C-alpha cells in the first residue's frame, strides 16, 4: 500500500515561523503535527477560535497557541504581534453545510476574515522584513466545491470547466481564491491556493460539511455507534453506486498542503496563472465505504448505518463532481493515493492512529 513521501518537503530557509489558522480543526491539527515532525527548528503559531491542542509540546518557542476569532481585528492583530511570519496556512472556515445553513456566518468567516488575514499578513511582512526579503508564502485551503453544473457522474477537466459554484460555500471559497491570487499578482505575498478533495477518514464528531457522512459511515460504526447515510434509503438503493465521490487519504492531503508551500512559484504559475491547484484524489462510492466497513468491522457494524435520505445533503451532493483530472497536480509534484488501495489505506490509518488499532 503506497504512502506519501516527505523527502522533498524542504521549506525555504527564510521561513522560520509559520502561522496555521484553523489549527484546532481536523486538517489544521494534522498539519501542525506534520510540521512539528518534519521541522524541529520551525516556530509554529497555531490559532483557532477554539483553543488549539498543544500536541504535548511545552516549549513555547516551538509552538505558540493563540485562541482568537480572526473576524475580530484586535484578536487578528495579536496573532502577528512580535512575530516574523514567513509562511501562512489559511485553513480556518465554516464548512459547506454550515455555510448553506447560516448565510451571514459563512460570508463573515469564509470571506471577511480571510480578506482581513491576507491584509494582516501583507502589512506584517512590510513592517517586519526588509524590501529585498522574499515575500511570505501563503497557502489558502479552498475546495473542489467551487465547481458547479456537475453531477456525481462528471469527470471535471479543469482546463475546460468554468468555475460556477452552486453553494454559498463554493462561492465564498472562489471569491477568496481570487483575492488570494490578487495578493500574489501584486507581489504582496507568494500565494498558492489548493482545492482540497474530501479528506477521509475524518476523526472526531460529525462536521457541518455535507460530505460528513463519507467519514461518518465508517468512523461511527467502527466505534460501535450509529451513523446516518443521508443519500440512500436502504442497502439496495442505487444511490449507493450513483454518488461517486472524490476523496483523499488524510496523510496524503496533509502532505500535499505542505508541498504547496514548498513547490517552486514559477512552476505553479506555469500551470495556473491564478496559482490554484486542484489536489489529486481517487474515486470511491458509498457502497465501497460499506464494503470496507464490513471487511474491518463485520456484519454487526453494518446495522449501525441508518439509511434515510436527507434532501438538504442530497441537494449539495448533487452539485459535486465524482472525478477530476489529476494531470496538473501530478506534474507539479503533488502525490495521489493508489486508486485500488488508497481508500482502504485511509481506513487502516484511522483504525491505527485514532482507535489505537481496536475496532469496538
Ligand X SMILES: NC(=O)c1ccc[n+]([C@@H]2O[C@H](COP(=O)([O-])OP(=O)(O)OC[C@H]3O[C@@H](n4cnc5c(N)ncnc54)[C@H](O)[C@@H]3O)[C@@H](O)[C@H]2O)c1
- Does residue 19 touch ligand X according to CB under 6 A? no
Contact flag: residue 113 with ligand X (CB under 6 A): yes
DSSP code for 135: P
Distance CA 243, CA 307 (A): 14
Q: Which is nearer to ligand X, 207 or 272 (CB)?
A: 207
| CB nearer to ligand X: pick between 14 and 154 | 154
Tell whether residue 196 is a contact of ligand X (CB under 6 A). Answer: yes
How many residues bind ligand X (CB under 6 A)? The answer is: 25
CB–CB of 176/140 below 8 Å? yes
- Is 109 among the residues that bind ligand X (CB under 6 A)? yes
Taking CB under 6 A as the criterion, the residue among 18, 43, 88, 92 binding ligand X is 92
Rule CB under 6 A: say whether 170 interacts with ligand X: no
Which member of 138, 169, 183, 243 is catalytic?
A: 169
The nearest distance, CB 86 to ligand X, in angstroms, is: 21
Contact between 114 and ligand X (CB under 6 A)?
no
First to last CA, the chain: 24
95 near ligand X, judged by CB under 6 A: yes
Which of 1, 8, 33, 50 is close enough to bind ligand X by CB under 6 A?
50
Q: Which residues pair with 90 in a beta bridge?
A: 21, 140
Minimum gap (Å) between residue 279 Cβ and ligand X: 9
Single residue of 65, 168, 191, 198 touching ligand X by CB under 6 A? 198
Question: How many Å apart are CA 30 and CA 34, to the nearest integer?
Answer: 6
Minimum Å gap between C-beta 320 and ligand X is 11
Rounded distance between C-alpha atoms, residue 293 and residue 98, angstroms: 27
CB of 168 closer than 8 Å to CB of 103: yes
Query: What residue is closest to ligand X based on CB?
Result: 25
**Bridge partners for 305 per DSSP:** 227
The residue within the footprint of ligand X, chosen from 18, 19, 20, 27 (CB under 6 A), is 27
Residue 167 in contact with residue 122, Cβ under 8 Å? no
Residue 20 within binding range of ligand X, rule CB under 6 A: no
Tell me which of 71, 203, 206, 333 binds ligand X, using CB under 6 A. 71
Q: Segment contacting ligand X (CB under 6 A): 9-17, 18-26, 36-44, 131-139?
A: 18-26
Smaller CB distance to ligand X: residue 51 or 182?
51
> Cα(352)–Cα(310) distance, rounded to whole angstroms?
31
Q: Which stretch binds ligand X (CB under 6 A): 194-202, 236-244, 263-271, 324-332?
A: 194-202
Q: Residue 35 CB, nearest distance to ligand X (Å)?
A: 15
Q: Find the binder of ligand X among 4, 19, 22, 251 (CB under 6 A).
A: 22
Q: What is the DSSP code (8-state) at residue 144?
A: G
Contact between 24 and ligand X per CB under 6 A: yes
Q: Phi and psi dihedrals of 94, rounded to 5?
A: -105, 130
Strand residue runs (E) in the chain: 17-21, 43-48, 63-67, 87-90, 137-143, 155-156, 190-196, 198-200, 227-229, 245-249, 276-278, 282-284, 305-307, 323-324
CA 85 – CA 126 distance, rounded (Å):
11
Known active-site residue 147: no
Q: How far is the CB of 106 from ligand X (least distance, A)?
A: 10
What are the helix (H) ranges across 193-276?
212-222, 239-242, 250-262, 265-271
Q: Looking at 19, 46, 63, 199, which residue binds ligand X (CB under 6 A)?
A: 199
Question: Per CB under 6 A, does 354 bind ligand X?
Answer: no
Residue 166 interacts with ligand X (CB under 6 A)?
no
Question: Considering only CA atoms, which of 121, 111, 123 is closest in space to residue 45?
Answer: 121
Q: Are 263 and 10 in contact (CB under 8 A)?
A: no
| Residues binding ligand X (CB under 6 A) | 22, 24-28, 48-50, 69-71, 91-95, 109, 113, 141, 143, 196, 198-199, 207
Residues noted as catalytic: 169
Amino acid at each position: 500500500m503506497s504512502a506519501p513521501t516527505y523527502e522533498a518537503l524542504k521549506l525555504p530557509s527564510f521561513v522560520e515561523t509559520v502561522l496555521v489558522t484553523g489549527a484546532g480543526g481536523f486538517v489544521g491539527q494534522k498539519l501542525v503535527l506534520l510540521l512539528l515532525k518534519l521541522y524541529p527548528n520551525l516556530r509554529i503559531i497555531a490559532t483557532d477560535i477554539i483553543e488549539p491542542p498543544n500536541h504535548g509540546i511545552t516549549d513555547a518557542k516551538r509552538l505558540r497557541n493563540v485562541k482568537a476569532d480572526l473576524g475580530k481585528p484586535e484578536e487578528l492583530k495579536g496573532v502577528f504581534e512580535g512575530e516574523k511570519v514567513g509562511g501562512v496556512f489559511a485553513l480556518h472556515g465554516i464548512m459547506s453545510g454550515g455555510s448553506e445553513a447560516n448565510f451571514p456566518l459563512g460570508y463573515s468567516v469564509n470571506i471577511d476574515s480571510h480578506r482581513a488575514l491576507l491584509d494582516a499578513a501583507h502589512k506584517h511582512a512590510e513592517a517586519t522584513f526588509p524590501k529585498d526579503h522574499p515575500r511570505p508564502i501563503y497557502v489558502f485551503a479552498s475546495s473542489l466545491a467551487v465547481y458547479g453544473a456537475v453531477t456525481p457522474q462528471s469527470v471535471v477537466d479543469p482546463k475546460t470547466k468554468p468555475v460556477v459554484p452552486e453553494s454559498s460555500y463554493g462561492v465564498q471559497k472562489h471569491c477568496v481564491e481570487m483575492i488570494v491570487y490578487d495578493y500574489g499578482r501584486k507581489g504582496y505575498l507568494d500565494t498558492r491556493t489548493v482545492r482540497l478533495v474530501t479528506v477521509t477518514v475524518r476523526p472526531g464528531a460529525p462536521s457541518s460539511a455535507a460530505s460528513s457522512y463519507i467519514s461518518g459511515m465508517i468512523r461511527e460504526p467502527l466505534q460501535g455507534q450509529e451513523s446516518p447515510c443521508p443519500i440512500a434509503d436502504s442497502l439496495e438503493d442505487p444511490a449507493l453506486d450513483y454518488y461517486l465521490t472524490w476523496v483523499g487519504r488524510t496523510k496524503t492531503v496533509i502532505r500535499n498542503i505542505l508541498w504547496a508551500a514548498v513547490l517552486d512559484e514559477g512552476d505553479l504559475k506555469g500551470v495556473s496563472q491564478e496559482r490554484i491547484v486542484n489536489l489529486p484524489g481517487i474515486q470511491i462510492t458509498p457502497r465501497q465505504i460499506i464494503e470496507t466497513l464490513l471487511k474491518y468491522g463485520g456484519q454487526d457494524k453494518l446495522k449501525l448505518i441508518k439509511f434515510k435520505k436527507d434532501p438538504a445533503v442530497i441537494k449539495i451532493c448533487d452539485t459535486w463532481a465524482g472525478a477530476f483530472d489529476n494531470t496538473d497536480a501530478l506534474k507539479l509534484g503533488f502525490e495521489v493515493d493508489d486508486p485500488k488501495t488508497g481508500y482502504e489505506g485511509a481506513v487502516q490509518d484511522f483504525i491505527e492512529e485514532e482507535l489505537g488499532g481496536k475496532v469496538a
